[in-house]
């Protein structure tokens, strides 16, 4: 692959912003990868900062995910118990419907909970 800006020079990598091949003279090494020197350095830095910030937010949200999972499981069990023991035939379907909504919320949390316990090692 040749450099986008210097077609006679071999490219050493791709700019993380524009995905163009860049040679050693055009490449600026950034924390998030290579960037076109003088053109996309700040763009690559901003994307890298955004990714770092999102990772930090994801780590902070794990305890909240566990709490919400526990709340919805408790609500599901409680609603099923109440519906099974309800005497009023008009209230029972409503309780089962609320239990179904709780079940859907629990199912939505399962992938999040599973990903917490099956962490991939960092390279």
Chain segment 73-122, per-residue pLDDT in tens = 999 999 999 999 999 999 999 999 999 999 999 888 888 777 777 765 55
What's the CA gap between 50 and 46, in Å, rounded?
Answer: 6
Element (H, E) at 28: strand 27-30
What is the b/e burial string over 28-59, where b = at least 16 CB atoms within 10 angstroms of the residue's CB? bebebebbbbebbbebbbebbeeeeeeeeeee
Chain segment 7-45, per-residue pLDDT in tens = 999 999 999 889 889 998 999 888 878 999 889 888 888
Tell if the pTM clears 0.85, that is, is over it: no
Boundaries of every domain in the chain: 1-60, 61-117
Q: Which two tokens stand for residue 43?
A: 């763009």
Q: Return the DSSP state at 4.
A: S
């Amino acid at each position: 692959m040749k450099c986008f800006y210097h077609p006679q020079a071999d490219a050493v990598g791709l700019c993380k912003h524009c995905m163009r091949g860049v040679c050693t003279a055009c490449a600026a090494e950034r924390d998030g990868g290579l960037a076109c020197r003088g053109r996309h350095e700040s763009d690559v830095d901003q994307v890298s900062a955004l990714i770092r910030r999102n990772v930090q937010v994801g780590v902070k949200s794990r305890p909240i995910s566990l709490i919400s999972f526990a709340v919805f499981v408790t609500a599901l069990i409680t609603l099923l118990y109440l519906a099974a023991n309800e005497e009023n035939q008009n209230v029972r379907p409503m309780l089962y419907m609320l239990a179904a909504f709780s079940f859907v919320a629990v199912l939505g949390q399962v992938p999040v909970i599973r990903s917490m316990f099956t962490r991939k090692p960092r390279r």
